[in-house]
Amino acid sequence: MKELALHILDIAQNSIAAKATSIKIEILEDLQLDRLEILIEDNGKGMAEEELVRALDPFYTSRKTRRVGLGLSLFQAAAEQCDGGLVLQSHKGTGTVVKATFKHSHIDRAPLGNITDSLITLIQADPNIDYLYTHQYNDKKIYFDTKEIKNILKEVEITNIEVLVWLREYIDSELKELVK
């Protein structure tokens, strides 16, 4: 994939398919340690041990609509290509954690890409899912929690177009401040 945000979107969509009601997305960029970490954690149905072993196989998928499941294996390959790796943890009934690490400065590392679009797409996909997004860039950190926003909005849906426009502007401005 051309950008890491698309991997994040793909993995989070797997979480949605696994009936997650809460998805945590964390990005850590530490330039001093030359490290980029991406963590996606959900409270979905999780995977049994035998399914977990096969989950990184590109020719395995639990979906019935196709025969291959390239998302995790492509994310793993992207991380390994950049002197990193991917760790997959899951427990049946409690959820799944995907953690990818990259050498931040690696010449082959795809750019992080449009995180804002990925987050907005996920929020629109199912407004009942709570998303917790944190992004740390060296010593600066931003935090975004849809549960908090929903509490403030009360009866106004988080998928209301005016709310989505505001969320897009808010996330974009926070990300720009983060990397200043």
Which domain does 169 fall in, by range?
4-178
- Report pLDDT for 51: 85
The tally of CA atoms less than 13 A away on the side-chain side of residue 86 is 22
Q: How many alpha carbons lie under 13 Å from residue 32 in its C-beta half-sphere? A: 4
Task: Quote the CA–CA distance of 26 and 143 in Å, as a whole number.
Answer: 9
Reading the block at residue 30, the tokens are 């530490």
Give me the number of domains the chain comprises.
1
pLDDT in tens, 69-99: 478 999 999 999 999 999 999 999 999 999 9
pLDDT tens string 21-76: 999 999 999 999 999 999 999 999 999 888 887 787 766 555 554 444 478 999 99
Is the backbone of residue 48 left (phi > 0), alpha (psi -120 to 50) or beta? beta
CATH of residue 128: 3.30.565.10
Query: Which pTM was predicted?
Result: 0.92
Q: Which two tokens stand for residue 16?
A: 């949605």
